[in-house]
Each structure stands twice: as structure tokens, then as C-alpha cells.
Structure 1
Amino acid sequence: MKAKPWLYLALCAGILGLDTLPALAAPAASGIQMVQSYVVKPGDTLWGIAGRFLKNPWEWPEIWHRNPKIHNPNLIYPGDRILLERNAQGQLQFSVVTLHPRMGVAPLPTIATGEIMPFLGNPGVIGSKHAYEALPYLAAARSQQTIFSVGDHLFARGLEGAPVGTRYSIISLGPELRRPGVQRPLGYALNDIGEAVLRRNGPAGEVEITVAKREISLGDRLVVLAKGNIPHYFPSTPRRPVSASIIAAISGAPELMTGQVVILDQGRDAGLEPGNVLQVTAPLPATPNAVTGKAFALPPEGIGTAMVFRVFAQVSYAVITSAQRGIAIGDQLRNPPSATAPSPAGGPGAG
């Protein structure tokens, strides 16, 4: 058996609802070497498995870096055995052992494709209405209809020089994104409403609608369709303190739960990176001081976690990875608490 680096384990559908894993060995007493192991199965995720070892799954990189034999991260595959060792000093470190050849075996995916895939290939956010209005657009149709769908052919302006066969996302302008208490908008969300392919070029390029996710109308904009490949995310804490707010929810639901995508009012400029995990907090009502009778401000309570998966300059997209109760627009996010420690079997991440 050949040891290999501890690696990117996937944050796929199980990040949002993992099946129960078999119990692992309970932590040994301090100062006694201990080994926990788990053989990776198809469908497993980093979030669920790391939660079996650690109270805070996002802290696994700290333990991974403690192993001097591990130099570069790689992919984890079904069949690999993860080892968590505690040395005489009580420090935990990971290693991975390959148990059999991997011919024909694909590495585990990184995150739930159904939840975030629509937000990886489209523009997501645009800085201003002026920038939106400057994009190519659907200009005219042969018929008098006003709503269009799959198979309809339309004429577009602004596609001069594009090769026939170019594929486009069809987008419309979404809600204005504002930081609470600030008048200047951070940008505008973009609605991903369909796809089209260029059939004939010219001053009025002819496009055919190939995908319709919502009603498509004249005036909707076109941007070249980006490949929505699922990247590998390292769950991690931000490199510096972050204070963010949820300013929009894709679902529009008043209460948000695990698996839903939200927009935050902080992004690259605040130091956020894809894979960063944040704690979601909500304010508690002021409570009378038992001695003075005056209102006593309580600290906000942690009600869940969210993982950033796409970052822009001033905003970012995140997926809610856990929720102890309903999460709402306006709830705050901050760096998660740090308490690297082993978790008893059946603890966080067990399902």
C-alpha cells in the first residue's frame, strides 16, 4: 500500500445532507497515540467525513498541514483509506492510503452540482445598469409574439464578428444589490433565463433559443456561455476577519435552509475566496438586566454555516451548508469559531 497526500475530498450533494456513516473509533486519552480510519465510498463528501473526525469540519487543512510527509494536495477517490493519527504530543494529522488501482474510477465531485451549477457558468453579477445595457441583445422577431421559448429564432444586435455556432447565455437584469445602510449599489444580480446559439451572422445576427428557464423577451441580453465546470474547493476559514450580510436569496423564500444559495455583501475586496466557510449569526432580543433593569444586549447566536463558492469584487455567492433554524436576508456572517478538536462518532457531519 502506498501512502499519498490528504487531499481535496468532495463537497458534493452530501455537503447538504449526508447519509449516516459507520461509527469511527472514539478519541484516545491525551498523550496516547490513536488512529482513526475510514474507507472512502462513492457519494462521500469532505464535509461529512471531516465532521466525523473534527468538531469543525472546515478546520481540516490545519491538520492536513501538520503531516510533514504531505507536500501537495490531490484528489481523493472511492476506495482510499483516510487515516487520522494522534501522536504522543496530542496533535492530529491526516494521511491517505491507496488500497487498490483506480482504473476507471473517477474522483469524488467537489460540491453539489444541482445547487450551484447554474451560478458557475453565467455572469452572476454586473456592476451597473450601463454595463448591462451595453451587452448584445435580442432585438426583433419574425412573428408578433412577445414571449419566446425553445426553437424560436430571433434577431440580435451586437454579435458582429462572432463565429456561427457560438453559444450564449440569455440574461435579464435582476435586483439591485445594496449593503445595508449604504445608498450606492454594489451591482445588480443577473437572471439566467436561457441559452441560444448563433445560426447566422451579420448586422442582425440570427440566434435560435436552445434552453428556456424562464420567459424570454425582446431586450434580454446575451453573453457568451461559459463552461460551468465544478472546481475543487478547499473548505477553509478566511485569511482575515470578515463581516458580511446576506443581501439576497436566489429562491426568494423568507426562510432559508441548507442547500439554498445566497448573495453576500462582501467579496474579493474583503479577502473572501472560494471555499471559505462563514458562520451565520442572528441577533438576539435585548434582555432586561436582572440587577439594573436596563436592557442588556446579548451577543448574536450562531445559527448555521455557509460556504462561499463564487467571488466578485464586492459581492459573493454562498451555499448554506448547515442551518439550526431558518436563515433570513439581513443575517450576518463572520469567521467561524476555531476549536480544532476530534469529534465523537455521531457528532457534527454525521448526517
Structure 2
Amino acid sequence: MPPFSNLLDLKPLSGFDWSCFNGNIATAVSYFGDDYLQAFAHSWTFSQFGTDPFSYDLLGHESYTYEDILKYANTDYTLHREISLPDALNTIYQELEAGRPVLVKCDSFACPWFPDNYHALHNTHFFIIVNYDPQTDMFACTDVSYMTHNYTQSVADFSQGFMNEIMTFSPRTSTLDLEDTDIDLVLLNIAKTNLGLQPQTYSIFEAMRVFADQFEQWYQLAVMEMNQFNPGAANKLHLELLYIVQSRMQFLKFVEYRADLEQANMQCIRAAFTQSIKSWSVIRMMYLKLYEPKANKEHIFNTLPEKIKAVAAMEEDIAYTILHMEQMRLLNDQLSPRHRHTFSTL
């Protein structure tokens, strides 16, 4: 078999670190285009935290699923369940030769880019194979969970850890009939929804403030859950903060792909979302420090809730800015020369 000449330049999508399945699927289909971003068009959101007794099931819930991502991506896909290793290898070789990435399910025990648990800890894991070199018998892999790009894995390691499941992708033969996205209307509707101005909606910004006030209690619940399994396991509160960062990063990408960035107002919104992402990332890293043995937990508990409230205020300002933009647009339409002429002839 000759060496494949078409190594896929498939870098992991930013913001999806630790998002094993959805993040790798989004990364794989991003190779075919940016249509997958439609799945994140309404993901500027936050779980509902009210003053009612705690309902821990609210935590760690994504507002989108891999089905949503695949629905909008301009690709067809096939999930090969219970596929044998020889059939899987043949399919992988065929797909790579055709220039298409393959998502695989494998034991992290066999992933050499896991420095802490390579050949030490067994966990189900997903990643993407992007090339094969028959001279070295090595795969090149992209893994969004660890933000690795073209990391090599021997076929022997892959075979040892393979868990009988792969997903293949191809350009869609019949495109999904989607309405043209009016980015201004999308922003307006989401801003109204997040402010609680639509029927049966709540203020996500008030939910953020409640979340901040009760943060230490949520942390204690997270600790209890971790102790029930193993100290190294991801917990729901960690996932909640991760999904917030992910959704805002992909929502910002969606806005940047669809909006006219020459508009001054849109530049302000873009800058504000960029700052929001940075702030949520800092909050998430502060949270992770709580699990370090020498962490100054008192300082974190005194600081982190105020940071959450500050981000809530900033994002609330973004929502009101979007509403004000719409009000100014309507006012400008009313004061346009054509409208003034019509008004003067009445």
C-alpha cells in the first residue's frame, strides 16, 4: 500500500477540550464546512438556577447534541457499531485514501497522547484518525479533548484499544433545506429570550446571579458526586462550566461567519462576546483549582462568585445593546427620507 499523500489538516476546534464525543464530531464535520455552526445558533444560554431547592440534574447538560451538529453539517454520516477490527481497519484505510476523516472509539489506555494514563488507565474515548503511513504503520490522530493535532498512534496500539465502533463522513448528496439566516433577527430573538422578555422564558442573567450566590453549595454537591466514583472523574459542575465556554465560543464563530463585521455595532458585540469567553475561561480554571491539594479555597470562594456576577452583568449589557440596536434601526427607518416624504404628504 503506497503512503497516503493527503494528510488532512484537521486542527481541533478551540473550546472543546474535555468534550470527548461532541467536540470530536464537531471537529470532524468542520472539515467539510462551517454549516455545523447552525447547531449553535441558539446556544447563548445558561441553565436555569432559581431560588427553589437544588435540583442537581440541571447541571452538566448541553444545550445541543451531536445529532444537532450532524443535522446541520453539510455531511452524511454512518455509525458503524460492533464492527470487527479487520473491517474497521479496511474502512479507515479507504476513507483516508478518499481524503475523509474517521471518528473512532478506543480505550484511552492505548492513546499515547494521554501522558498521565497511557497504558495505565482504562477509559472509553473518541478521537479522529486523519492519516496512515504504511511505512511506519502509524496513524495520525486529532483529538479535541486534549487539543492534539497529528499525534501519531501505532496501528498495534489502536488495535489493542479499539472498541468496535467508528463513524464515517461524506459530503451530503442532498442538502438540508435551511432558511437563510438573518443574523440580526437571530441576535434579537436570543437577546429577548435571555432577558426573559419572550413568553415562557426566564432571565438567564438572574439565573447566573443565583448560581453565583449558591456556588459553594454547588461545589459541595460536586465533591460528593466525585467521591462516589473516583477523584479524577469529570463532574457535572465542571461540565456545566465547560459547556458554557464551548457554547459561547461556537456562538461567536456563528456570529462572525454570518454577520457584517464592518458594522460598528457588530464589532462591539463581537468584542464583548470575546471578553465574555475569556472571563468564563478564567472562572472555569479557578474552579478546577479548587481540586488542587494546596488550593486556597477560601480565596476562590470569595472571588469566584463576584466574577460570575460581573460576567452576568456584562452579558446582560450585550443583550440590551442588541435590543437598543434594533430600536435605533426602527427609528432610522422612520426618519429615512422616503418615510419623511410619505409622512409630509399625509
The bucket for the TM-score relative to the shorter chain is under 0.3
Structure with the larger helix share: 2
- TM-score (normalised: structure 2): 0.21
TM-score by length of 1: 0.21
**Structure number having the greater strand percentage:** 1
